[in-house]
Amino acid sequence: MVKLMAAIVDIVFPSPHRKEEDAFIRMAEQLSSPSLCFVDGTADLSALQKTTSIILYSGTTNPNMMLKKAALRIVSPGEDVRHILEKTMVDIVFDLEQLQGQDLARQRRSGLNHVIADIAALRKKHIGFSFHSLLSCSGIKRSQLLGRMQQNVLLCRKYKTGMILASFATTPMEMRAPRDLLAVGQMLGMTAGEAKLAIEAVGGIVQRNRSSEK
């Protein structure tokens, strides 16, 4: 059995129109998720932290925001993936598989190629795999997305590119326990060890960023 570290940080996206950070926290407590990173959240985390033992962090989709304002910089980059990796301070790019385009007969348009994977590895950027994205589609579209993610796992493995696996939930009900995410990672073609590292990696990035502030 793979033993997960305690310093796991799940990534969630609370709605700016609903005060739902508290509901995310309660769900994290039920799932035994030790830490949460609220991306682009609007709530006062210092006040929320007093209500829970879950460790709370803030994240941003602004790839150049200074770290004093966010523990994590995470972007779904669209077509400008290379620019984002080379010219910004982003930590994680995710949803590359959602880029438009028909899959080819022998290759899927997965949003990642050997050049991008190599750049990400050299610059210590991570490729994110979103459970929310899988959950949000079904049928042929889910099969296509799953195949693209599996191809990207292979590329990350080949070029030793860091991988991230998290809920990326937009509602509390989309969150999953770390053990469930471990199974998702293996479904994507990760080994148990790779899935473990992908789940734990967010915590490592947050700690590195926090240390660089000092």
Kindly list the domain boundaries of the chain, sorted by start residue.
9-213
77-106 residue pLDDT tens: 777 899 999 999 999 999 999 876 555 545
- What pLDDT is stored for residue 5 in this prediction? 58
- What pLDDT is stored for residue 214 in this prediction? 59
Instruction: With 0.85 as the threshold, say if the pTM is over it.
Output: yes
Work out the number of other CB atoms within 10 angstroms of the CB of residue 25.
23
Give the integer Cα–Cα distance in Å for 98 and 94.
Answer: 9
3-state SS class at 11: strand
- What pLDDT is stored for residue 105 in this prediction? 42
Q: Is the model more confident about 214 or about 86?
A: 86
On the question of pLDDT at 66 being above 80, the answer is no
The topology under which CATH files domain 9-213 is TIM Barrel (3.20.20)
- Beta-sheet strand order (sheet of 72-75): 9-12, 35-39, 55-60, 72-75, 92-94, 126-130, 162-166
Residue type, 171: T
182-202 residue pLDDT tens: 999 999 999 999 999 999 999
32-47 residue pLDDT tens: 999 999 999 888 899 9
